[in-house]
Amino acid sequence: MRTIRCYVDQPLAPGGLATLSETATGHLVRVLRLGVGDPVVLFNGDGHDFAARLVSLGKRGARAEVTDARPVANESPLRLTLAQGIARGDKMDLVLQKGTELGVAAFVPVNTERTEVKLDAERTAKRLAHWQGILAASCEQSGRARLPRLGEPVSLANYAVAESAPVKLVLDPQADLGLHDLALPAAAEVALLVGPEGGLSERDLAAARAAGFTGLRLGPRILRTETAGLAAIAALQALYGDLA
């Protein structure tokens, strides 16, 4: 039987009541055909799943009674930060969605020399809210009970200097280092920097290297921005993380 999970941005505890958003309620009622008394699983990003049952349905949202809580231990031992050069259209959505499914712990949208997407303050706020919704929906689907952290858009130079992960990698088709050369320790913390559609410029790569990033080569072919980071994350998980 399929488990129906729903993210709620509020404290949860057994015996308490949770208010579901209008959007979540519409999905549960109109799409999944749930009614009062039906079970759902709620989570708020604190690492637990909360068993609940619907107790009321309204136009502005449903209410659910929390009956139990259990810890969820499916986070990757590999602590991965994906610093993604901001890409056009729905490419960023895809990276966030699939990266969450693959166990990425944090995302940082990065402005690079070749980034074509220009975000003012208003557009940034709207885009961040949209991206946060994608992370929550991806956690609902994949069973994660902790939402990946989402940073605000930042310049590559500022990000590279501020990143404190012990292992810092930048995808570079010309690099000598391959995935099997890394020999990462158990429970490693890794930051991976990926360029936008046009790739990283020489100045971008120089700034990253100056801040301690090491070039990483994936293989003999050039991958699109929405493919490159995800392929690297999947390979890192297989070699050093979830499947190692």
pLDDT digits (tens, 9 = 90+) for 108-135: 999 999 998 888 889 899 999 999 999 9
CB 17 within 8 A of CB 64: yes
For 40, residues 6+ apart whose C-beta sits below 8 A from its C-beta are: 4, 5, 6, 28, 34, 52, 53, 54, 64
Radius of gyration of the chain measured on its C-alpha atoms: 20
In this prediction, residue 1 carries a pLDDT of 56
Burial of 118 (0-12, 13-18, 19+ CB in 10 A): exposed
Number of helical (H) and strand (E) elements in the chain, helices listed first: 6, 12
Burial of 87 (0-12, 13-18, 19+ CB in 10 A): buried
CB 110 within 8 A of CB 191: no
- Beta-sheet strands, E only, within 44-105: 48-58, 61-71, 79-85
| Whole-Å CA distances, 169 to 22, 74, 177 | 41, 24, 10
pTM of the predicted protein model: 0.94
pLDDT in tens, 131-183: 999 999 999 999 999 999 999 999 999 999 999 999 999 999 999 999 989 98
